[in-house]
Chain A
Amino acid sequence: MSVKIYETLTVECETGNYHTFCPISCVSWLYQKIEDSFFLVVGTKTCGYFLQNALGVMIFAEPRYAMAELEEGDISAQLNDYEELKRLCIRIRKDRDPSVIIWIGTCTTEIIKMDLEGMAPKLEWEIGIPIIVARANGLDYAFTQGEDTVLAAIAHRCPEPELSIRERKETLQNLLAFHSIKKKELVKYTNNPSLVLFGSLPSNVASQLNLELKRQSIKVSGWLPAQRYTDLPSLGDGVYVCGVNPFLSRTATTLIRRKKCELIEAPFPIGPDGTRAWIEKICSVLGVETQGLEEREERIWESLKDYLDLVRGKSVFFMGDNLLEVSLARFLIRCGMIIYEIGIPYMDKRYQAAELLLLQDTCKKMCVPIPRIVEKPDNSNQIRRIRELQPDLAITGMAHANPLEARGISTKWSVEFTFAQIHGFANARDLLELVTRPLRRQKNLEDLGGTTLVRKNNKFSF
């Protein structure tokens, strides 16, 4: 199996036998992000076991999520779904009093065709707490796409803006006809229409991005999701929206089609190059001239010099499990690394169009061929390719990390990229800190010898 090198961008598709987290894992970061929410995962012991193991110690901090564990009576419809859910939700209301309950549908609710969407409005009316349904199941989605389904569901609950842009313009013209002292302010207001960013980020990363845009005198009018459910941003005709993460294609679609928003298709603010391109795109759409962006990017690169020396010329293999892969690969190419393969669970070429274009440009700029993108990868084929290519770094899930390390391949656990702060200029160093950690560790242990720690007669020893 030799590795093809492409001049143009191609996306291959394999068998889909790969390892990733179940999308219900989005509960772990979303319940922390949306402070007044409660997530109820309607599923089986398997879902619960996954959450409890994947989230480690977080479970002990009185989490605002729980399983509605289906028992045999629920599966065989001996019990009434509606009554059961009502009982649990009333208990949750009593114990935690959340502003919103989010039901996460799982594989099992899909298979037994439990009508969560149908029951939610009725129960919402009955118990007086908003209930939102997101079908984040492993039949349809992978890992971070779970957040996508939740945000798409929440988007429906965002209030309409009080004035649409058209009305606003009319008001403005009316006002201009009069001799108003507020004229100046109003001009500025129309020049900068409402901009809502979507994607769940830790609050300090969100405020960093807000600040970056503020420097370009662009005001961010809200985030989806906000820190509290009760603070959801207004969305509607004429509101501009822009994504901060590459896995939010359903949310983007919902915002365009259902909420009539204008989507700014930009690369994602991951790495200084991505952040600059993201800001530039927003500015160009909103008709603002950027100021000092180039110097700022330059300065950030300058401050990364020690790490860049370490990664330059090293090769990377993305096995693919969280959809951040294209943005990360683009950044790493710009850092001087060589990417052998970008595995990715799902590739939305429309939503990621600007990111893919930036990837192509970056490859051209750095004079490297465009790496192959493999959608729905096959892990056992990938392991064979890794054996053949011997990359300096494999970015992979925990299922493969230790076995690869034992065979002398440095690995970085991909899930860390989802939990670490990697967006914006200020976090570029944190991102490289993650990527270089295995390389630095390797350097420290260099003189120890014995990098391959499996017996020769072992299967797959390579």
Chain B
Amino acid sequence: MKLAYWMYAGPAHIGTLRVASSFKNVHAIMHAPLGDDYFNVMRSMLERERDFTAATASIVDRHVLARGSQERVVDNILRKDKEERPDLIILTPTCTSSILQEDLQNFVYRASIISDSNVIFADVDHYQVNEIQAADKTMEQVVRYYLDKCYRQEKLNQFLTDAPSVNIIGIFTLGFHNQHDCRELRRLLRDLDIEINQIIPEGGSVKDLKNLPKAWFNLIPYREVGLMTAMYLNKEYGMPYISTAPMGAVDMAEWVRQIHKNVNTLALSLSSKRVDYEHYIDGQTRFVSQAAWFSRSIDCQNLTGKETVVFGDATHAASITKILAREMGIRVSCAGTYCKHDAEWFKEQIQCFCDEILITDDHAEVGDMIAHVEPSAIFGTQMERHIGKRLDIPCGVISAPVHIQNFSLGYRPFLGYEGANQIADLVYNSFALGMEDHLIDIFGGHDTREVITKSLSTDLGLIWNPESRLELSKIPRFVREKVKKNVEKLARQKGIETITVEVMYAAKEAFNT
């Protein structure tokens, strides 16, 4: 048993559901007790989704405990099959159902014989993998299922497209700025004259998965989710993949050069046109994107040697660490990730860019480390933002888990050249605010709270008895003065001298505050 207050990555079924609900026309059925369909709330609230989330629960209750699910799971699958006609139904186990040890695989087998939809069982172990790993695994499972099926039916079309093309793997729902990143990637690839064969899972159709091998190679923008699929496609279909995240000017150039290499290798054997992107990289880096110029500007000079702490998922934490150290000359005192399963890669990526590396999924440990380092700014998740608030250190949010304010309506990619601009803004704003705060402290501040909250009504002649004073103190601070004013107004109107709790409620009713 572990005493836990907070976690960075959710339980496995969330990962499976995120992949399932990103595909078009795929329905997930959770084998779960009442209340475990919280995923739908998150998706509807955080993503402000207009559609009903295609995930329902096959409820596990007392009867299931006593007699097993029996026909219930199969019935629920068939009902969804009839009602919504999805292409694929994914039966998703939860932590509860995985200890029941019912043969869900068998239910899936039975349902798949009768139903028109394909039915698969998400093969994830709740006690061994977390949300991120489960998402990775489920995506690979879905891709493998459809490709194997086509292979067996000998319908697989393995001919490459004429022009260079790619698949983008790993854009999905509730991902950190994924929608914006996806748009930015599209733009970059258009600039490079490369076609997009497919984007999965977001908005993709499982019916099209059979065409995945037609692309020349795969792009994996975030290594947390998509790498397994890419490795599978590499092994079975010999598709090369690029797992560098095009985040920051240097990695961006590296990413373009890798594309360049891949395109040219295949172009040679397909005797099609060869490409050269060096000119593009140079132009974009120096003149189109502002990030490189920003690094040289006087603003950024002021940031030299400032201390920071970075924490997040492996992709974002590593990239941001590299950007801060390599591109802005900021000192990263400690960089860390909660992706424990990917610790080796993470360490290798950043070991020469930071003083210390922290691999943990315990937020208290991260908090202690931040308190110990006392950096001028933090770049982390929603949790580090709150740690920063407590310690009075500004924080830029760079990675999931995040709250609704990070699902911005405006265009905010982290990838590509526009992403580099956004990151530069984020970094600069975090520090600038920190400096401003500091200056205010030195010069005695412009905090006018005292003056504003000082009641303008005269307290003369009115006595608050102890109970009413206590009651008043319970009212939230931001409305307290207003309440006080109204109560005293009523008391004066009615000629009451001592204010009691009764008078307070009478005032509430009278003024509806």
Which size bracket describes the interface of B in this complex? 35 or more
Given A46-B11, A399-B44: A140 touches B62 (CB 8 Å cut-off): yes
A213 beta carbon closer than 8 Å to chain B: no
A-B interface, 10 closest residue pairs, ranked by CB to CB distance from nearest: A22-B35, A138-B33, A399-B40, A406-B50, A84-B1, A45-B11, A138-B35, A44-B95, A72-B127, A138-B34
Are B7 and A426 in contact (CB-based, < 8 A)? Answer: no
Contact sample, A vs B, 20 pairs, CB 8 Å cutoff: A16-B59, A17-B56, A44-B126, A46-B11, A50-B38, A59-B5, A68-B4, A70-B1, A107-B60, A140-B61, A142-B34, A207-B471, A211-B505, A398-B41, A399-B41, A400-B52, A402-B45, A426-B508, A454-B50, A458-B51
B53 beta carbon closer than 8 Å to chain A: yes
Shortest CB–CB separation between residue A423 and chain B, in angstroms? 13
What mask results when residues 36 to 47 of chain B are scored 1 for a CB within 8 Å of chain A, else 0?
111011101100
The B1-24 residues at the A interface (CB cut-off 8 A) are 1-7, 10-11, 13-14
Which residues on B sit within 8 Å (CB–CB) of A87?
Answer: 1
Are A71 and B2 in contact (CB-based, < 8 A)? Answer: yes
Chain B contact residues, CB within 8 Å of chain A: 1-7, 10-11, 13-14, 32-38, 40-42, 44-45, 48-53, 56-57, 59-62, 65, 76, 83-84, 94-96, 99-100, 126-128, 130, 386, 389-390, 403, 471, 474-475, 501-502, 505, 508-509, 512
Which residues on B sit within 8 Å (CB–CB) of A75?
Answer: 99, 127
CA distance in complex: A59, B6 (Å): 8
Given A69-B2, A108-B99, A459-B84: A139 touches B7 (CB 8 Å cut-off): no
Given A85-B1, A203-B474: A403 touches B49 (CB 8 Å cut-off): yes
Are B44 and A402 in contact (CB-based, < 8 A)? Answer: yes
Given A48-B7, A425-B509: A68 touches B127 (CB 8 Å cut-off): no
Are A49 and B84 in contact (CB-based, < 8 A)? Answer: no
CA distance in complex: A459, B25 (Å): 10
Given A53-B38, A69-B2: A45 touches B7 (CB 8 Å cut-off): yes
Which residues on A sit within 8 Å (CB–CB) of B56?
Answer: 17, 379-380
Residue in chain A with minimal CB distance to B63: A139
Q: Of B34, B65, B389, which contacts A110 at CB under 8 A?
A: B65
CA distance in complex: A399, B43 (Å): 8
Are A139 and B33 in contact (CB-based, < 8 A)? Answer: yes
What mask results when residues 175 to 197 of chain A are scored 1 for a CB within 8 Å of chain B, else 0?
00000000000000000000000
CA distance in complex: A68, B62 (Å): 23
A300 beta carbon closer than 8 Å to chain B: yes
Which residues on A sit within 8 Å (CB–CB) of B389?
Answer: 60
Which residues on B sit within 8 Å (CB–CB) of A19?
Answer: 37, 40-41
Residue in chain A with minimal CB distance to B85: A459
Given A75-B99, A453-B50: A138 touches B84 (CB 8 Å cut-off): no
Are A67 and B5 in contact (CB-based, < 8 A)? Answer: yes
Are B50 and A108 in contact (CB-based, < 8 A)? Answer: no
CA distance in complex: A423, B33 (Å): 31
Q: Of A20, A91, A112, A383, which contacts B35 at CB under 8 A?
A: A20
A351 beta carbon closer than 8 Å to chain B: no
A389 beta carbon closer than 8 Å to chain B: no
Which residues on A sit within 8 Å (CB–CB) of B48?
Answer: 402
A401 beta carbon closer than 8 Å to chain B: yes
Q: Of A56, A71, A204, which contacts B471 at CB under 8 A?
A: A204
Shortest CB–CB separation between residue B486 and chain A, in angstroms? 13
Which residues on B sit within 8 Å (CB–CB) of A110?
Answer: 65
The A355-382 residues at the B interface (CB cut-off 8 A) are 379-380
A429 beta carbon closer than 8 Å to chain B: yes
Residue in chain A with minimal CB distance to B42: A53
Which residues on B sit within 8 Å (CB–CB) of A300?
Answer: 509
Residue in chain B with minimal CB distance to A112: B99
